[in-house]
Every structure is written in structure tokens, then in C-alpha cells.
Chains A and B, each alone.
Chain A
Amino acid sequence: MGGRAEAVITEKVEKGNTVDVVNLKMYFPVLRGLLKRKVADVKALDDVSFSIKPGETLGLVGESGCGKTTVGRCILRLYKPTKGVLLFEGTDISKVSESDLRQFRRRMALVFQDPYSSLDPRMNSCDIVGEPLKIHGLAGSRGEYRDRVAELFTMTGLRPDMMDRFPHEYSGGQRQRLSIARALAGAPSMIVCDEPISALDVSMQAQILNLLQELQSKNDRLSYLFISHDLLAVQYISQRVAVMYLGRIVELSTSQELYSNTLHPYSRALLSAQPLPDPAAEERRSRIILTGDVPTPLNPPSGCAFHPRCPMAKKSCAESRPELRDVGGDHLVACHCV
């Protein structure tokens, strides 16, 4: 499997991409019983391929449990992928040992969904933001360290005089800024934003999105993998968007193309679920209601994983798995019917 998809993607593996993921598989073993024997695999990711160019934002959308977060955590090697190639700035880091990974870790960072559990409650905000500086020995003296942290505070719109405060003294939006400041400390080329705005209220969401964009405009080599289930936010911030379903990418295209010319039936259903801000348009909006539940990744359906719920499913959909192919204009779709 994956021969063709791999061909399509590897052709595109240009030199100089920040991240290239080729046929990434992540299986989590299911352990049971006293001896913790492996009884099955959860196929969280099955043949996921994409790449992110310097300065680009790739949006990753899909419903809960489809493997979005797993993608992010694999790229940061918080999980060791079961199979596949994971190039970070041209080096395959999928099998590198934890100690050799350390040199790469400075240039990648993670912003979490939950602004509460992502900051150590017993550390003051200066040490939280400065942690990467300490880990990688980037600040020589105490004064230099504090100057550098103060700079990061200013960059993310926080007041440097609040440096000695503890996380519980900040509001949710400010905590997310702390998280972003920490992510920036090592001067990364890649930040994985794992639902960075879904725990915030709407006005905060806009500010965080704008902050992320602003940081990118200041550093045109900074790439984001923006994981979200908020389709509008993804459209707003991403140049390209990937839609995931049950551990696979079903559609991948430029943001404009994907939102205006949605091809995969799952993507269509997903986009139709997004309410429109214009009341008149909202009235006319026709929803594609999917029947049934998301199948379990323990035992995914045969052929196209989406076929039991797909309104367009044909006989062949249950038999063979559609591969991600280019339908023209950099638009990749995995569907027999397109």
C-alpha cells in the first residue's frame, strides 16, 4: 500500500522543507491482563504524508479521535512512530534516539490546547518561558537570561514586569501567550499548535490567531502545524489545509482551493457543519448530516474507512482503499468517486 501516494508525495519532497512526513504510521498497542500482553493495535495514524515549507502554515482538521494530535506529537517525537519517514529540516528523525534528538528539539516547539495544564503551577512565569533557554544553555548569565525572557514577553504581548508571577495569576489568554513565548524561546523553525485556541473565548481566539500570524510575519522561516477543529480559524491562518479521517489524510490542498472546491465527501460534510456568520447565508446553508458513528481505529472498515457513512459510496469503496492522488492544481484527494 501507499506506493502511489508515496510517489505523489516524494516527488514533492523538495529540498529545504521544514517538515516532510512520508507514510507515517503510529500504532498504539492495546495491553491487557496481568502480564500486559498486546491484544491489538489502535491504528492512530495510517500512512500519513505531507510536508510543510518554511514560513508556511499547514492546517489540520478533523473530528475528535481522528489522529490530529497524534500527528503533532509524532512530528515532535513525543511518540516514536511505528513506521514511516519523518524529515525535520532534511534529517530523518523518526528513529533517532532521545539523546540525539535533543539538538533538534530546540528548533521545534509545541503550543497546547489547555492553557492550565501546560504550565507548571509551581514555576514562575519567567522560568516557564525561559525553560528552553536553560535546557539548551542559550543564556549565559542570569541577567542575559532575564533580558531574553523579557524580550519574549514583549514579543508575545505580555508585560515583562509580570515575569515573577505564577501561572495562576494570569488569565487564560495570557497563559496561552506564555505558552507561545515559551515555544519561541529556542528560536524554532516549527511550532506545532495543538488546538491552541479552542479553550479560549472568541475574542481571545482572534488575538491569539493574530499573534501567531504576526510572529510569522516577523520571521518568514517560521512554520506552523495548526491543529484545530475550528474550520474558520484554520482557513484564516493556514496556507494549506489537510482533512483527516480515522488516522488518514483524505484531502489536502491550499486553503482557498479546499474551502471553495471541496472534493472529498467527508470534507464536504465537515465544512457543511460550520455555521456561517451571515444570518442570510446561514439560513440557506444546507447541511450534510452523516449517519452512524466514527468507526473505531481498533478495527477500521475495509476499503475506504469512510464508506459506511459516505453518501456517495460505491461497491468498490468497500473493497479497495483509495489512495491520496493529485486531481490537479495541488489538490490531493483520497476518494474513488472524485
Chain B
Amino acid sequence: MDGTKIVREQIPDDEFEVLEEEQLSGVNELKRFVRAFFRRKIVVVGFILVVVVLLTAALADVIAPYDPYEQDLYQVLAAPGPSHPLGTDALGRDLLSRIIHGSRIALAVGVCTVLVSASIGTVIGLIAGFSDSRLNSLIMRITDILISVPSLVLQLLIASALNSGVTGVVIAIGLTLFPAYIRLINGQVLSVKQNDYISASRSMGAKKSRIIVRHVVRNVVSPLIVMMTIMMGMSIMAEAGLSFLGLGILPPAAAWGSMCRDGYQYLMTRPLLSIAPGLAIMILVFAFNMVGDGLRDALDPKLRGALK
């Protein structure tokens, strides 16, 4: 036919478009990621705060001026001063040292809960996403029920049934937070499955395991990381809440939540006893949320190439 012949003659075969060299080669994946991540100042602040807390936890023994459990009964409820920068509590323990050591518990609980809930939720979410529509709706309806139970009530129930301490708190919080991951992963799997590259892989003869590991998990990882970061903040909050109610990590352990509770009896005279650990919780949760926001921006493949 005339039309197609004309088209063929007009365009020499060897001339196909090549994107400009600098446009392509300059974009190093890591560089792009870092640039996208630190694009917002608030994220930088959050990131620095997280790093500071991590360092504090790692170096707690070095930087804490006192042993957090050492009682100095001559210095009970001391006002902030040169020897005790934030004062002491009712048993004469140095508040600053206790807050510094408390970062260990907060991070340990945060990391463990996130790992527990994310792994349970991810596995169930993947199963749901890959099962037929009947099993999928069964799993998802059960998940809806789990999500609809107020998490504090469930945490109180589980925590009171288990021994208090880090393990009990991790299980209690982990078990209430994992349904959120099921929902996230299931949704992601269902949407990734729609992509032609999954059909392509199938048509090439890839086994299901290969498709799940190579294509689906890879494409589900970034929202999962974002979710885990934000969940860090939530678990730390939940731990503090449980400890405040006396069901989490019990004294004498230096948990921020139980420190708030111990301090609130002296709220009128020594408000810092409650406010300081409270602020520590707030700052850490805020920092994790900001890092989560930054990661969300940096990991979104739609923004790839958009930010130079």
C-alpha cells in the first residue's frame, strides 16, 4: 500500500532516538535516591534526630553521666543543676541517664515489633495476593475484623496475659499492628500482578516462585519500607502507652513510658520528670515519621528521573 511505503522510505532504519547522553549517564541510582530523600528540610531534621537517637542508644554507657539504676537517696527529686542536668527522680536516679538508656528500650521495642509484625503481615499478604478470589476475600475480611478492633484494648489484653518485659510488649504490639501490613501487601501484590511484565515472565516459562521473588517482592519492597518506618513511630508510642499504664516494661527498667508515669505524681513540683521522657518519645516518633515521608518520596518509582 502506498501509505506505508512512503513511511518506510522516509525514515532510515538506523536513525532511532537516543536520549541525550548526560541526561542518562549522570543519574546514578544512589545519588538520585539521596537527593530525593533529602529534598525536604524537615526530612533532614528527622533523619538527623534518628541518627542522634541511634548513637545515643549505642553509646549510652559512655555518654550517660550516671548509672541509670543507681539510687542516691540523698539526692531525691533534686532540681536540675550542674551535677544532675535534668534533676533526679523520687529514688534519686539521674533523669538524663535514664532517658539516655531509655532510648535503647524504645528502639529495641520499635525494631522488634516492626520486624515481627512486618514479617507476619508480609507473608500473609503475599499469600492473600496470590490466592484465588475466594481465599483472598476470606483473608481480607478477617484482616478487616482485626483492624477494626481498637488496638489499645487488644494490646492491654495480650500484654496482661503475657509476662511484662520487652518480649511481652513486642508480642502484644506486633500482634495488633500486623493486619495493616496484610492490607498493604495484598493491595500492592494485586496491583503489581496486573502489570504486563508478570504475564511476560509467565509466558517465558518462569516458575511462580521466581515471579514472586524477582518481580512481585521487588516491587512491593519500597512501600513496605515506608510502612515499616512509620510503624516504628507507632510501636514506640504503643510501648510508651502500655508502659505508662503499667502493663508494658516495668520499673526499674528505664522505659520512657513508665518514666512518664512515675513522674506524673510530681507534676506540680518536678514537671520535668514526666515532660522530659514525654518529649523524648515525641521527638523519636516525629523523627521516624519524617524519615518515612522522605523514604516515600525517594522510593516512588514514578518520581525516578523527575528529580535531577
Does A277 lie at the interface of the complex (its beta carbon under 8 Å from any beta carbon of B)?
yes
Whether A173 sits at the interface, judged by CB under 8 Å, is yes
Interface bin, chain B: 35 or more
Given A110-B200, A182-B200, A202-B7, check contact A135 B2 (CB 8 Å): no
**Is A132 in contact with chain B by the CB < 8 A criterion?**
yes
A129 to B11, CA, bound (A): 26
A110 touches B199 (CB 8 A): yes
Residues of A within 8 A of B268 (CB): none
Q: Which of A73, A103, A236 contacts B1 (CB 8 A)?
A: A236
B35 in contact (CB, < 8 A):
no
CB distance from B17 to the nearest CB of A (A): 6
Indicate with 1 or 0, residue by residue over A144-178, a CB within 8 angstroms of chain B CB atoms.
00000000000001010010011011110110010
Query: Within 8 Å of chain B (Cβ to Cβ): is A119?
Result: yes
User: Bound state CA distance, A327 and B229, in angstroms?
Assistant: 69
Shortest beta-carbon distance, B31 to chain A, in Å?
A: 14
| CB-based contact B196/A118 at 8 Å | yes
Residues 178-219 (chain A) with a chain B CB within 8 angstroms = 179, 182, 186, 202-203, 205-207, 209-211, 214
CB-based contact B8/A206 at 8 Å: yes
Q: Which residues of A contact B4 (CB under 8 A)?
A: 206, 209, 232-233, 235-236
Contacts of B11 in A (CB 8 A): 203, 206-207
**A118 and B304 alpha carbons, distance in the complex (Å):** 17
B84 at the interface (CB under 8 A from A): no
Q: What's the minimum C-beta distance from B59 to chain A, rounded to whole angstroms? A: 37
Partner of A105, one of B3, B29, B204, B304: B204
Cβ-neighbour of B133 out of A31, A182, A277 (below 8 A): A31
A112 touches B134 (CB 8 A): no
Are A132 and B301 in contact, with the CB atoms below 8 A?
no
Residues facing A in B291-306 (CB within 8 A) are 301, 304-305
**Chain B residues within 8 Å of A106, by CB:** 204-205
Q: Which of B192-207 contact A (CB under 8 A)?
A: 194-197, 199-206
Q: A31, A108, A277: which contacts B203 (Cβ < 8 A)?
A: A108
Closest to A31 in B: B133
> In the complex the two chains form, is A36's CB within 8 Å of B133's CB?
yes
> Do A210 and B13 touch across chains, with their CB atoms under 8 A apart?
yes
**Known A121-B219, A207-B11: A232·B3 in contact at CB below 8 Å:** yes
Chain B proximity mask over A83-104: 1 for CB below 8 Å, otherwise 0: 0000000000000000001111
In the bound complex, CA of A278 to CA of B2 (Å): 8
Considering the complex, give the chain A residue whose CB is closest to the CB of B13. A210
Q: Which residues of A contact B304 (CB under 8 A)?
A: 121, 166, 168
CB distance from B308 to the nearest CB of A (A): 12
Interface 1/0 per residue, B128-153 and A, CB below 8 Å: 00000110010000000000000000
Chain B CB within 8 A of A122 CB: yes
Chain B neighbourhood of A162, CB < 8 A: 24
**In the complex, how many angstroms separate the beta carbon of A157 from the nearest chain B beta carbon?**
6
Q: How far is it, in angstroms, between the C-alpha of A239 and the C-alpha of B298 when the chains are bound?
A: 49
- Chain B, residue nearest A136 (CB): B205
Contact between B197 and A120, CB atoms less than 8 A apart: yes
Contact residues, B20-58 vs A (CB, 8 A): 24, 27, 29
Say yes or no: is A35 at the interface (Cβ < 8 Å to chain B): yes
A164 to chain B, nearest CB (A): 10
- Chain B neighbourhood of A276, CB < 8 A: 3
Chain B residues within an 8 Å CB radius of A211: 13
| Contacting pair B206 A135 (CB below 8 A) | yes
Q: Do A206 and B205 touch across chains, with their CB atoms under 8 A apart?
A: no
Contact partners of A105 in chain B: CB under 8 A: 203-205
Q: In the complex, what's the smallest C-beta–C-beta distance from B99 to chain A, in angstroms?
A: 41
**Quick one: given A121-B301, A207-B16, are A35 and B134 in contact (CB under 8 Å)?**
yes
Q: How distant is the Cα of A207 from the Cα of B195 in the complex, in angstroms? A: 25
A173: which of B17, B27, B202, B203 is its contact (CB, 8 Å)? B17
Q: Is A131 touching B201 in the complex (CB atoms < 8 A)? A: yes
Interface size on A, residues (CB 8 A): 62
Q: Which residues of B contact A166 (CB under 8 A)?
A: 29, 304
Of the listed residues A131, A166, A211, A232, the one surrounded by the most CB atoms of chain B closer than 10 A to its CB is: A131
A210 lies within 8 A of B8 (CB)? yes
A236 to B16, CA, bound (A): 20
Tell me whether A252 is interfacial, beta carbon within 8 Å.
no
The CA-CA distance from A104 to B205 in the complex, in Å, is 8
Q: How far is the CA of A121 from the CA of B196 in the complex (A)?
A: 11
A321 to B305, alpha carbons, bound, how many Å?
55
Let me know if B6 and A78 touch, CB within 8 A: no
A74: min CB distance to chain B, Å: 12
Residues in B with CB closer than 8 Å to A73 are 199
Tell me whether A63 is interfacial, beta carbon within 8 Å: no
Contact in complex: B7, A78 (CB < 8 Å):
no
A270 within 8 A of B: no
Question: What are the residues of chain B within 8 A of A278 when measuring CB–CB?
Answer: 2-3
Contact call B218/A109, Cβ cutoff below 8 A: no
Q: B5 CB to closest chain A CB, in angstroms?
A: 8
Interface residues of A (CB under 8 A from B): 31, 34-36, 73, 76, 78, 101-106, 108-110, 112, 114, 117-123, 128, 131-132, 135-136, 157, 159, 162, 165-166, 168-171, 173-174, 177, 179, 182, 186, 202-203, 205-207, 209-211, 214, 232-233, 235-236, 259, 276-278
Beyond contacts A78-B203, A120-B218, A123-B218: 19 other A-B pairs, Cβ-Cβ < 8 A, are A34-B137, A105-B205, A110-B200, A112-B199, A118-B200, A120-B195, A120-B197, A120-B214, A121-B304, A123-B214, A131-B201, A132-B204, A132-B205, A135-B204, A135-B206, A169-B19, A206-B11, A207-B16, A233-B4
Contact residues of B with A, CB < 8 Å?
1-4, 6-8, 10-11, 13-14, 16-19, 24, 27, 29, 133-134, 137, 194-197, 199-206, 210, 214-215, 218-219, 301, 304-305
